[in-house]
């Protein structure tokens, strides 16, 4: 996560694209040299955005951070919600978790339901294509075995 320690790199570009996916929301521009949190930037003014579909309160989404009956336990298991990051501890600023990879030009959840990490797993199932006798089938042109897959 070099973006968090002030080192210049382009690994955080996708999280800084505008407009935000599925919206017309334009992020504040974040130059590569200002992505890292260790780089001082007094004038940083990110755009606030959480999608209407998330604000509608579906059961998979957290309430707004400002709601009085909501006080998430960041960096730990919070009831049935895992708020620990696979990348280690993340900082909390003004009661909100900060993206450990650096500035994105946006605050709020966007399309994400949770405050903090939003864990997801996308299974991929593979198998070798076989004939009715169970032998692997080879591609007629390449001569290589044919790998079949199902993915989300």
Q: Stretch 36-57: mean pLDDT, rounded?
A: 96
Q: In sequence order, which ranges of the chain are alpha helices (DSSP H)?
A: 52-55
Q: Stretch 131-137: mean pLDDT, rounded?
A: 97
Position 10 scores a pLDDT of 60
Residues 6+ apart with CB under 8 A from 84: 75, 76, 77, 117
pLDDT band at 11 (very low <50, low <70, confident <90, very high): low
The C-alpha angle with vertex 95 and arms to 94 and 96, in degrees rounded to 5, equals 95
- The Cα 91–Cα 140 span in angstroms is 55
Q: State pTM to two decimals.
A: 0.75
Q: To which residue do tokens 């935000």 refer?
A: 20
Per-domain boundaries in the chain: 1-120, 122-151
Position 9 scores a pLDDT of 58
- The Cα 33–Cα 102 span in angstroms is 11
Evaluate whether 108 touches 99 at the Cβ level (below 8 Å): no
């Amino acid at each position: 996560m070099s973006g968090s320690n002030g080192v210049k790199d382009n690994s955080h570009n996708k999280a800084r694209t505008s407009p935000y996916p599925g919206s017309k929301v334009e992020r504040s521009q974040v130059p590569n040299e200002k992505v890292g949190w260790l780089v001082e930037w007094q004038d940083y003014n990110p755009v606030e955005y959480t999608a209407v579909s998330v604000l509608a309160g579906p059961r998979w989404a957290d309430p707004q951070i400002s709601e009085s009956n909501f006080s998430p336990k960041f960096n730990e298991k919070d009831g049935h919600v895992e708020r620990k990051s696979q990348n280690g501890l993340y900082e909390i600023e003004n009661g909100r978790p900060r993206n450990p990879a650096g500035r994105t030009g946006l605050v709020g959840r966007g399309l994400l339901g949770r405050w903090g990490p939003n864990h997801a797993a996308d299974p991929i199932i593979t198998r070798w294509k076989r004939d009715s006798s169970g032998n692997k089938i080879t591609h007629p042109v390449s001569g290589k075995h044919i790998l079949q897959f199902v993915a989300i």
